Chains A and B, each alone.
Chain A
């Protein structure tokens, strides 16, 4: 059965990937035009931070950054470069945009994937328990817990975690992704990253946790009353089997939808947590590039993330189809 689906998936991928190109170009165009509306440019900010400037110097900078050209010409160069997959150069950071993004990407992925996995896994478990014990003590406790976790501002939770675990107890490092005072390799390095990632990932997970728990709980409750569950019961299936194989499998679909959507926010969703924990991720890079009007970099990040979102959407569609055979690609 699986084998027979592979050509279908390939055909689907081919069709969808063709659709990606115009979508991404459209996004690039929109990004560029919207950013034109922001007052001030990268030279203003550089000169402002320097505390002094001369008009000649500012003009020289604008000329060397290509900012003295009319907007249509800038747009033309931007689209041309984008079409050739050249993300350009960040004059503020003195580095190619792609290099800046790729340097930050691993940190973002580590943080987001860990946080999402923790949130999805615990959301799944808590949601199932909630649904099984609906309106009983366990359900109520879980509801209150996830609600509080959701309502607490993540930056505050992060700060409090730092104060407790780093400043008071000294168990975990408060900032960064690795211990930069020593050179580590292999397993030691992984352990070090894990130690640094623990607080930020858990902090970030609390935000997503509530949504996943509630989603699973609601979907499961709906299915518990459905005809096919009654049929399964009539067949004599055990409650565990009904919960895990009949109801949960179906309840995974809305979870996948949500995961797909939130994976899209992978680049921007963690700005606060990245700031509090000095995590060298892409969210902060994007945020700082907005403040600095470093539009080459910002456009690069936006484009990069739009590509990622479209690709992830395609993946989610494929996963849908494998979870639910009724869905056709």
Chain B
């Protein structure tokens, strides 16, 4: 349930005012942790299971990452730091990756964690079931376990993206002794996970909450500081806002609060903001074109549409400034590969009209050229509002847009199975590496009807395919950067997808919530180093 759009718009105006006057957002780093206390957390949606190894849904990862752990974790700049692996080295040809595993780590049921667990999870879960893992570990040919605390991956071709990915969300290690020989997808431990993490799963009352308790035998001595974590599921957005204000909730993770309400949390003596927690996901909101549609199959029409949409204004009006204008398929947070040196489409209605004329779609006496359908799912207010924004923008160049806003399941079916759409608006995680999260949007081999978030525009460019496939196994970092740059330039010229905004994932918390260090994958932080400062 949502507030009526008119009401939201009224709030927007207030929020924009507040934003322009607010100073740099406060962060959540602290020193001198205080042990004790239970942290109350609200997330956007109740998860369906608690195993990130099977479903990469954000909400699952936000909870499961406190129980499950990956081999590595990421710091504020998305550089890998040790977690279950203490050390790793990539062979000179890029074809071996070796991990030294932490000793005397125990699963929550008391069994020892060893390389056998990693090997099992890699072969049976990451490579077979995990939707990103299948791509991420595709090059892993064989695995060698010289001793229980070392594992070596032998690759058919270098996989330079691996170390950008394998945290508690991307590749959580599962206990072999509980999963081996079972139906992994329907294993009962998917809803009562046994991990190695700082918190132990205690109970899940569906529709109400998940309770985690401190793991007293956690391998990081002295941590976790918290006695437990309570994830509360509050389905209504306005009620989530009130819950944080009334102190029933301490932290609201993953943009669980609507942007329109953030103005109410600008008091830095009471609340802190964190805007880098979701950098790892590297999300971009976009409008994708169906290239099988008569008009949109013409590159000039797509470029004209790109020139007609003022993305600065979109960012301000719909996202209230929380984010950046997207300049290409790789988001700016992926600093290693991002380039702004691509074709850009600033607002230019004349140019847009000219391109449409060239394409043969002249305006009639009433200024109309042709009509298009624009579909988006009803479950996210900002997409609905983005769609409305695009409709208004395109009216100015004579394209009449018909909005279609069905529920999520219908949207998925129409776009990815039936291809019964002209333009759709949504967002996709681009992940810390373009090979993992960006290639899938443009790759000819990923034109797969029936599968969500594949190349559903039907865009196919053999030259680009070759570049992307080369970048996926290029061991030389300099060459790889050049390839990914060319890749970005090609798709910005062809615009099968119009990149709109890089939204940030916002965590709002009471100032009492502190961590020793920020993380670029903070949504999936274990919170071992988190605490609640005493009330003043």
Quick check: is A176 within 8 A (CB to CB) of the other chain? yes
**A92 to B132 CA separation, bound complex (whole angstroms):** 20
**A281 to B208 CA separation, bound complex (whole angstroms):** 9
Q: Which residues of A contact B410 (CB under 8 A)?
A: 38-40
One of B40, B55, B417 near A46 (C-beta < 8 A): B55
Quick check: is B142 within 8 A (CB to CB) of the other chain? no
Quick check: is A49 within 8 A (CB to CB) of the other chain? yes
Report B236-259 residues with CB < 8 Å from chain A CB. 236, 238-239, 242-243, 245-246, 248
A64-B183, A284-B235 given; A167·B242 CB < 8 A: yes
Q: Give chain B nearest CB distance to A153 CB in angstroms.
A: 10
**A53 to B446 CA separation, bound complex (whole angstroms):** 11
One of B183, B190, B230 near A181 (C-beta < 8 A): B230
Are A40 and B451 in contact (CB-based, < 8 A)? Answer: no
Question: Taking CB as reference atom, which chain B residue is nearest A294?
Answer: B48
Binary interface encoding of chain A residues 42-84 relative to chain B, with 1 for a CB under 8 A from any of its CBs, else 0: 0011111111111101101100100000000000000000000
Quick check: is B316 within 8 A (CB to CB) of the other chain? no
Q: Which residues of B contact A103 (CB under 8 A)?
A: 205-206
Question: Taking CB as reference atom, which chain A residue is nearest B410?
Answer: A39
Are A93 and B409 in contact (CB-based, < 8 A)? Answer: no
Q: Give chain A nearest CB distance to B460 CB in angstroms.
A: 18
One of A39, A51, A162 near B56 (C-beta < 8 A): A51
Quick check: is B453 within 8 A (CB to CB) of the other chain? yes
A167-B246, A177-B208, A278-B234 given; A54·B453 CB < 8 A: no
Q: Which residues of B contact A285 (CB under 8 A)?
A: 206-207
Quick check: is A192 within 8 A (CB to CB) of the other chain? no
- Candidate in B245, B416, B451 with the most chain A CB atoms within 10 angstroms: B451
**A54 to B126 CA separation, bound complex (whole angstroms):** 12
Q: Which residues of B contact A60 (CB under 8 A)?
A: 129, 185
Are B248 and A173 in contact (CB-based, < 8 A)? Answer: yes
Contacting chain B: which of A203-211, A253-261, A269-277, A301-309? A269-277
Binary interface encoding of chain B residues 185-219 relative to chain A, with 1 for a CB under 8 A from any of its CBs, else 0: 11010110000000000000111110100000000
Binary interface encoding of chain B residues 33-60 relative to chain A, with 1 for a CB under 8 A from any of its CBs, else 0: 0000010100000001100000111110
Are A51 and B428 in contact (CB-based, < 8 A)? Answer: yes
**A60 to B238 CA separation, bound complex (whole angstroms):** 38
Are B233 and A278 in contact (CB-based, < 8 A)? Answer: yes
Are B238 and A64 in contact (CB-based, < 8 A)? Answer: no
A50-B56, A52-B440, A180-B230 given; A44·B409 CB < 8 A: yes
Q: Which residues of B contact A292 (CB under 8 A)?
A: 48, 409
Quick check: is B448 within 8 A (CB to CB) of the other chain? yes
Q: How large is the interface on B (under 10, 10 to 19, 20 to 34, 35 or more residues)?
A: 35 or more
Are B208 and A58 in contact (CB-based, < 8 A)? Answer: no
**A39 to B230 CA separation, bound complex (whole angstroms):** 36
Quick check: is B473 within 8 A (CB to CB) of the other chain? no
Are A174 and B239 in contact (CB-based, < 8 A)? Answer: yes
Q: Which residues of B contact A278 (CB under 8 A)?
A: 208, 232-236, 239
Binary interface encoding of chain B residues 413-426 relative to chain A, with 1 for a CB under 8 A from any of its CBs, else 0: 11011000000000
Are A46 and B242 in contact (CB-based, < 8 A)? Answer: no
A44-B452, A53-B131 given; A291·B408 CB < 8 A: yes
Question: Taking CB as reference atom, which chain A residue is nearest B429?
Answer: A51
Are A180 and B409 in contact (CB-based, < 8 A)? Answer: no
Are A162 and B451 in contact (CB-based, < 8 A)? Answer: no
Are A53 and B242 in contact (CB-based, < 8 A)? Answer: no
**A51 to B61 CA separation, bound complex (whole angstroms):** 12
**A41 to B409 CA separation, bound complex (whole angstroms):** 7
A60-B185, A277-B239 given; A104·B207 CB < 8 A: yes
Binary interface encoding of chain B residues 427-465 relative to chain A, with 1 for a CB under 8 A from any of its CBs, else 0: 011000000000010000000101111000000000000
Are B233 and A95 in contact (CB-based, < 8 A)? Answer: no
Are A64 and B186 in contact (CB-based, < 8 A)? Answer: yes
Quick check: is B112 within 8 A (CB to CB) of the other chain? no
**A180 to B231 CA separation, bound complex (whole angstroms):** 10
Are A181 and B55 in contact (CB-based, < 8 A)? Answer: no
A103-B206, A155-B1, A175-B239 given; A38·B48 CB < 8 A: no
Are A53 and B451 in contact (CB-based, < 8 A)? Answer: yes
Report A6-64 residues with CB < 8 Å from chain B CB. 38-41, 44-55, 57-58, 60-61, 64
Are B206 and A52 in contact (CB-based, < 8 A)? Answer: no
Are A180 and B232 in contact (CB-based, < 8 A)? Answer: yes
Are A276 and B239 in contact (CB-based, < 8 A)? Answer: yes
Binary interface encoding of chain B residues 475-516 relative to chain A, with 1 for a CB under 8 A from any of its CBs, else 0: 000000000000000000000000000000000000000000
Quick check: is B379 within 8 A (CB to CB) of the other chain? yes
**A22 to B248 CA separation, bound complex (whole angstroms):** 48
Quick check: is B134 within 8 A (CB to CB) of the other chain? yes
One of B134, B185, B188, B232 near A61 (C-beta < 8 A): B185
Quick check: is A193 within 8 A (CB to CB) of the other chain? no
Q: Which residues of A contact B230 (CB under 8 A)?
A: 180-181
Q: Give chain A nearest CB distance to B49 CB in angstroms.
A: 6
Are A280 and B451 in contact (CB-based, < 8 A)? Answer: no
**A134 to B248 CA separation, bound complex (whole angstroms):** 47
Quick check: is B89 within 8 A (CB to CB) of the other chain? no
**A219 to B295 CA separation, bound complex (whole angstroms):** 64
Are B235 and A50 in contact (CB-based, < 8 A)? Answer: no
Question: Taking CB as reference atom, which chain A residue is nearest B238?
Answer: A159
Quick check: is A315 within 8 A (CB to CB) of the other chain? no
**A103 to B205 CA separation, bound complex (whole angstroms):** 9
Q: Which residues of B contact A51 (CB under 8 A)?
A: 56-58, 131, 428-429, 453
A40-B413, A60-B185, A170-B246 given; A95·B206 CB < 8 A: yes
Are A272 and B1 in contact (CB-based, < 8 A)? Answer: yes
A159-B239, A278-B232 given; A50·B131 CB < 8 A: yes
Binary interface encoding of chain B residues 376-400 relative to chain A, with 1 for a CB under 8 A from any of its CBs, else 0: 0001000000000000000000000
Report A153-176 residues with CB < 8 Å from chain B CB. 155, 159, 162-163, 166-167, 170, 173-176
Quick check: is A110 within 8 A (CB to CB) of the other chain? no
A181-B40, A181-B230 given; A58·B450 CB < 8 A: yes
**A53 to B413 CA separation, bound complex (whole angstroms):** 14
Question: Taking CB as reference atom, which chain B residue is nearest A61?
Answer: B185
Q: Give chain B nearest CB distance to A302 CB in angstroms.
A: 17
One of A40, A57, A173, A284 near B131 (C-beta < 8 A): A57
Given A52-B132, A275-B239, 18 more pairs with CB closer than 8 A: A44-B452, A45-B409, A47-B453, A52-B429, A54-B131, A107-B207, A159-B238, A159-B242, A176-B232, A180-B211, A181-B40, A272-B1, A275-B1, A276-B239, A278-B234, A281-B207, A285-B206, A292-B48
Q: Which 9 residue pairs across A and B have the least CB separation, nearest first?
A: A40-B409, A280-B207, A52-B131, A40-B413, A39-B413, A48-B452, A48-B412, A50-B56, A280-B208
Q: Which residues of chain A have a CB within 8 Å of any CB of chain B? A: 38-41, 44-55, 57-58, 60-61, 64, 91-95, 100, 103-104, 107, 155, 159, 162-163, 166-167, 170, 173-177, 180-181, 272, 275-278, 280-281, 284-285, 290-293
Could you give 21 example pairs across A and B, Cβ below 8 Å?
A40-B409, A41-B409, A44-B409, A47-B451, A48-B409, A48-B416, A50-B131, A51-B429, A52-B56, A53-B451, A53-B453, A94-B191, A104-B206, A170-B246, A176-B232, A180-B205, A180-B208, A275-B235, A276-B238, A278-B236, A284-B235
Q: Which residues of chain B have a CB within 8 Å of any CB of chain A? A: 1, 38, 40, 48-49, 55-59, 129, 131-132, 134, 183, 185-186, 188, 190-191, 205-209, 211, 230, 232-236, 238-239, 242-243, 245-246, 248, 379, 406-410, 412-414, 416-417, 428-429, 440, 448, 450-453
